[in-house]
């Protein structure tokens, strides 16, 4: 078999991982000796445990430092982009009163606080705006008049999305107002600036940098542990009893689970940079394809799937399939203890462009609903319902990229319901 290299010259600045690899190898050998009752082996095991801990801390510190630096740089770039955007950002409460307003340059926000949105923004058809707000509909390209920081009314365009709290209840709007009167400044020739080492990276480059960091720095210690554990199992497994071999199998299983979590994290990060290819999508047909895959994956399960016919949406078919794979897959999984399970995909009753996936499975406690869409957050034991803990986070990210919202409802042992919207006229 291919054995991991322990040559310090194999890659620059890898001595902590190499040291950790050597320590892990010696640790496993010492563990084998300790199991056989050797005092020297037990002492060596204790010393090497300390060495492994130190090596792990050094590697963790390096990874944390790199990720912290990347996060700080990203936040700085985001702040700069925010300053350059010629838009007003606003947020309202449940009564449609403005509770936050951030104009370009940070001027004049206080005057808008507390007033109804329709007073801050004078829509050409105020009745339509009020009606859209009252039914919590998406606000897209609503034209009207907006008083800028200097007090002059300008022609502007408003966009907004309704927000939901942890219980799925309406929690106000967030949105922007863009000045459409602003003329494009005349073009003038300027000298091309010299390339700067600190120029902001394109989103694709940032994603590649993040993927490399996660893939390389997080996987390296796992590969070392996995590689040397396999060596010990192959070369010394016959000398160990059942308990010793079981310990090695547990190490290999944990390494496989960690690799799976890293794969899920990389897939989640890719969703932010993957371009949208919006087109009409037959959700009913897409769901039937997903259901066929689930039936092949769990042929022993008896699940009745009811799909409302004619569910049409506009979006990226590849990403929307990911949404259905996660939502229907979760419904399949969490009905696993129900011998005659039922799963539904149907139109959301109070949302014209909303859809619902519900089941009669394990459900969840609504007190912990705010954790539903967190990365690596779980409301059930992994022993009862295995998974990576990023499925719903991926779904939320995709739905938001389509301009929609998603929220969940459930009762313990009485099933769960996940509602999501896909506005057909949302900007890509």
Bridge partners, residue 89, by sequence:
102, 176
Q: Structural domain boundaries of the chain?
A: 8-79+204-273, 87-179, 279-421
Mapped onto helix, strand or coil, the DSSP state of residue 345 is strand
Longest CA pairwise span in the chain (Å): 86
Of 147, 151, 152, 150, nearest to 177 by C-alpha is 147
Contacts 24+ apart (CB under 8 A), 118-124: 120/90, 120/146, 120/147, 121/145, 121/146, 121/156, 121/158, 121/177, 122/146, 122/153, 123/158
Same fold, 87-179 and 279-421: no
* Residue 38 confidence (pLDDT): 57
pTM above 0.85, yes or no: no
CATH number of 279-421: 3.30.565.10
49 Cα distance to chain centroid: 35
* Residue 355 confidence (pLDDT): 94
| Alpha-carbon span 335 to 328, nearest angstrom | 11
* Residue 192 confidence (pLDDT): 38
Q: What is the pLDDT along the chain (428 residues), one digit of tens a residue?
A: 445 444 444 444 455 555 556 656 665 655 555 555 556 655 666 666 666 666 667 777 777 777 777 777 777 776 666 555 567 788 899 999 988 887 654 445 666 778 888 888 888 777 778 888 988 888 888 888 876 545 567 788 888 999 988 888 899 999 888 877 654 444 333 333 433 333 344 444 444 455 555 555 666 677 778 888 888 888 888 888 888 888 888 888 877 767 766 666 666 566 666 677 889 999 999 999 999 888 888 888 888 899 999 999 999 888 898 899 889 988 888 887 888 889 999 998 888 889 999 998 888 877 767 777 775 555 545 555 555 567 788 888 889 988 999 898 888 888 889 999 999 876 55
CATH number of 87-179: 3.30.450.20
CB 100 within 8 A of CB 91: yes
Axis-axis angle for helices 219-236, 15-35 (nearest 10): 30
Handedness of CA 326, 332, 336, 337 (dihedral sign): positive
* Residue 324 confidence (pLDDT): 92
CB 48 within 8 A of CB 33: no
């Amino acid at each position: 078999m291919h054995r991991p290299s322990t040559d310090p010259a194999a890659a620059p600045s890898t001595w902590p991982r190499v040291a950790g690899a050597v320590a892990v190898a010696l640790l496993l050998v010492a563990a084998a000796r300790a199991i056989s009752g050797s005092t020297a082996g037990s002492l060596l095991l204790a010393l090497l445990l300390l060495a492994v801990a130190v090596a792990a801390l050094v590697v963790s510190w390096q990874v944390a430092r790199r990720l912290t630096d990347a996060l700080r740089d990203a936040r700085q770039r985001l702040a700069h982009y925010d300053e350059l955007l010629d838009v007003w950002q606003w947020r309202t409460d449940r009564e449609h009163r403005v509770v936050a307003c951030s104009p370009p340059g940070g001027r004049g926000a206080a005057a808008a606080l507390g007033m109804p949105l329709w007073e801050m923004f004078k829509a050409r058809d105020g009745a339509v705006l009020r009606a859209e707000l009252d039914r919590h509909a998406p606000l897209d390209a609503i034209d009207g008049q907006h008083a800028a920081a200097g007090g002059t009314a300008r022609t502007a365009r408003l966009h907004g999305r309704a927000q939901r709290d942890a219980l799925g209840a309406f929690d106000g709007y967030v949105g922007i107002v863009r000045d459409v009167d602003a003329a494009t400044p005349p073009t003038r020739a300027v000298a091309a600036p010299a390339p700067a080492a600190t120029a902001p990276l394109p989103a694709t480059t940032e994603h590649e940098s993040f993927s490399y960091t996660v893939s390389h720095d997080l996987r390296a210690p796992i590969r070392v542990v996995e590689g040397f554990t396999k060596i010990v199992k192959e070369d010394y497994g016959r000398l160990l009893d059942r308990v010793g071999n079981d310990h090695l199998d547990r190490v290999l299983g944990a390494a496989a689970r960690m690799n799976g979590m890293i794969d899920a994290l990389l897939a989640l990060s890719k969703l932010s940079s993957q371009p949208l290819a919006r087109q009409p999508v037959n959700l009913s047909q897409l769901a039937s394809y997903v259901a066929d895959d689930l039936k092949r994956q769990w042929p022993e399960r008896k699940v009745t799937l009811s799909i409302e016919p004619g569910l049409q949406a506009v979006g990226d078919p590849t990403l929307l399939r990911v949404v259905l794979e996660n939502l229907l897959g979760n419904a399949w999984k969490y009905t696993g203890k129900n011998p005659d399970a039922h799963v539904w995909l149907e139109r959301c009753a109070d949302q014209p462009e909303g859809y619902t996936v519900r089941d009669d499975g394990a459900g969840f406690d609504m007190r912990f609903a705010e954790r539903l869409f967190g990365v690596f957050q779980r409301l059930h034991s992994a022993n009862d319902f295995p998974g990576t803990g990023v499925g719903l986070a991926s779904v939320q990210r995709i739905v938001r990229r389509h301009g929609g919202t998603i929220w969940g409802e459930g009762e313990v042992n009485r099933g769960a319901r996940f509602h999501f919207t896909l506005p057909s006229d949302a900007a890509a």
